Amino acid sequence: MLGRSGKFWIVMVLYFLSLLIGVTFFQPLGGIFDRFDTLRLRWIANLRTDSLTDVMLFVNLLASRWTIRALRWGTIAALVGFRHWRHLFVYLGSILVVEIVAYQISTLLGRSRPQGITIIAPWEGYSMPSRPLVGLAASLVGITYALVVPGRPREMAKWIVGGVILALVFARLYLAVDHPTDAVFGAIMGIAIPLVAFRWYTPNDAFPVTYRRGKAAHLDVGGRRGEAIRRAVQDQLGYEILQIKPVGLEGSGGSTPLRLRVAATEEEPERYLFAKLYAKSHVRADRSYKFGRSILYGALEDETPFQSVRRFVEYEDYTLRLLYDVGLATPRPFGVVEITPEREYMIVMEFFDGAVEIGDAEIDDAGIDEGLQIVRKMWDEGLAHRDIKPANLMVRDGKVLVIDVFFVQVRPSPWRQAVDLANMMLVLAVKSDAKRVYDHALEWFTEDDIAEAFAAARGVASPTQLRSMLKQDGRDLVGEFRALAPDRDPVSIQRWSVRRVGRTAGVLLVALVALLVIVNNWTVFA
């Protein structure tokens, strides 16, 4: 995960730390370093000229507080603007660690500035390690890994950062502000800590830096990942992939949906399959999502997070097969494909060729009945879809099909089933009208069922895409359905629980501790 360069910088930091320990506890070794540094500084001081001194003083401005402050706050603003939250937290954490460690080491060693050579630039504090170099190197490396896209742009950025750091090292030695070992150790520490942090917590495969429109959940399926998908499908399912194309990204936030064109076999012609690619990033996102839901809505929803990608995809494969076996109009399952053990998996199923999202289709009376029968069938089988929205309902040849069964729940609460009915009726009403859908619903459900559904479906009970669609439609469809159905008191889903109170207090405590750390180390950014 770290790569060769990450391991190299770790080794360099450990090497210099071992030397520092030796200098601290073995005085003769410290004398050797002092003589080595003094000889090198005197040799560099012999190169001084008035014009070169002006240039080095200008280069030394890179190490000023204002320069480093501008770089850090600019990076934070950019990360917030582009909503690269994970990179933001890693950047802040690495900067805090770098500054705190550098300060503690400099205080412990207490090394003075170079002696016997004229210092021709302002300075403050102890010399080892060079804290201005630590600060600039950490800031630039953080920018490289947090804002620059992987590949050729990042490689070029690394060379530029390396050139800037080398120029500052030479300038500070020329000005005799730092010893050579101070400058080198400061640069190594400033590079190593953020580099390792970003390599470890934001690997390119899982958290790439991108500026394309789309959700962070959507993974790039080209390059090595694309080749790995082709090999895995060939080996595990026996299909040769001719093309991999992302589809339906707008309505999918928890996976990377793909359309696979597979070669003809002896039994079947060339055709398309549908697949959903899952990675560890999706498990983390699901965990965060459910954590937030638990804080907001308490114990009313099943918010138990998955602990691995394998369990993640196994559950969806199970629910897909369950719905297919009970006769619902869902895709035929083809199985789970392991791309990278415990890191990336893919579930493959039938592709509804020629089908369109229900929001783009014309719905007649038969289509309304089919949509309602889907909910009726799930009720009768003791199931709830839990994510009924336009993106999960397809229409082909006038037939309504249901997809994306990841949130399906077995033996759900009556409240959850009621929400499914309300969401289905709202989707259908957007394509027709409330009175028409209500009349058809009475053929499959009682008035009390419908009344309970719209008593339960209050705003947050509907998926985000459906709420957005209702807002664009402009009609108060929820109000129209409630007016048609018998009166019921609205159900509040924001129920406080011990778990909810505990998690809320935990989030606030973590935020308070983080704030105190930043305040106590304000010199890192101010």
Strand order in the sheet with 356-357: 356-357, 393-396, 399-402
Label the pairing between strands 256-262 and 271-279: antiparallel
Under 8 Å CB-to-CB from 501, ≥6 apart: which residues? none
Alpha-carbon distances, residue 272 vs 81, 245, 268, 488 (angstroms)? 38, 11, 11, 47
Burial bucket for residue 513 (CB in 10 Å: 0-12, 13-18, 19+): exposed
What's the CA gap between 499 and 178, in Å, rounded? 54
Q: What is the pLDDT along the chain (526 residues), one digit of tens a residue?
A: 445 555 555 565 555 555 555 445 444 444 555 666 666 667 777 777 878 878 888 888 888 888 888 888 888 888 888 878 888 888 988 888 888 888 877 777 666 666 667 677 666 766 677 788 888 888 998 899 888 888 888 889 889 988 888 888 888 888 878 777 778 878 888 888 888 888 888 877 667 777 655 455 566 677 778 888 888 888 898 888 888 887 765 555 567 788 888 888 777 788 888 888 887 666 666 666 666 655 555 555 556 666 777 888 888 889 899 999 988 888 889 988 888 888 888 889 888 888 888 878 888 888 889 999 999 999 999 998 888 888 888 888 888 888 888 788 888 888 888 888 988 998 898 888 889 999 999 999 998 888 888 876 554 456 777 777 878 878 888 888 888 888 766 555 555 555 556 666 776 777 676 666 655 554 555 5
Q: Within a 13 Å sphere around the CA of 373, how many CA atoms are in the beta-carbon half?
A: 12
Q: 88: closest CA among 76, 100, 72, 102?
A: 76
pLDDT for residue 521: 53
Say how many C-beta atoms besides its own lie within 10 A of residue 33's C-beta: 18
Q: Taking every pair of C-alpha atoms in the chain, what is the biggest distance, in angstroms?
A: 97
Say how many C-beta atoms besides its own lie within 10 A of residue 87's C-beta: 22
What's the CA gap between 42 and 63, in Å, rounded? 22
Give me the torsion for CA of 422, 425, 431, 434, rounded to 10°.
-100
Q: 525: closest CA among 66, 85, 128?
A: 66
Say how many C-beta atoms besides its own lie within 10 A of residue 315's C-beta: 16
Under 8 Å CB-to-CB from 366, ≥6 apart: which residues? 398
Tokens representing 180 are 């050579």
pLDDT for residue 190: 84
Q: 211: closest CA among 259, 256, 282, 153?
A: 153
| Cis before 129? omega within 30 | yes
What's the CA gap between 48 and 44, in Å, rounded? 7
Q: Within a 13 Å sphere around the CA of 5, how many CA atoms are in the beta-carbon half?
A: 14
Alpha-carbon distances, residue 347 vs 42, 179, 210, 270, 424 (angstroms)? 67, 58, 25, 20, 26
Q: How many helices (H) and strands (E) does the chain have?
A: 18, 10
Does residue 125 sit in helix, strand or coil? coil
Instruction: Tell me how long the chain is.
Output: 526
Does residue 337 sit in helix, strand or coil? strand
Dump strand ranges (E) for 208-311: 241-246, 256-262, 271-279
What's the CA gap between 208 and 46, in Å, rounded? 48
Alpha-carbon distances, residue 252 vs 187, 331, 416 (angstroms)? 43, 17, 21
What's the CA gap between 245 and 405, in Å, rounded? 21
What's the CA gap between 372 and 250, in Å, rounded? 25
What's the CA gap between 193 and 10, in Å, rounded? 8
What's the CA gap between 191 and 365, in Å, rounded? 65
What's the CA gap between 269 and 262, in Å, rounded? 9
Alpha-carbon distances, residue 280 vs 86, 306, 348, 372, 458 (angstroms)? 14, 11, 18, 36, 32
Q: 138: closest CA among 72, 200, 59?
A: 72
The 3-class secondary structure across 281-325, one letter per residue, is: HHHHHHHHHHHHHHHHHCCCCCCCCCCCHHHHHHHHHHHHHHHHH
Cα 425 from chain centroid (whole Å): 33
Q: 199: closest CA among 81, 84, 94?
A: 94
In contact, 391 and 251? CB cutoff 8 Å: yes
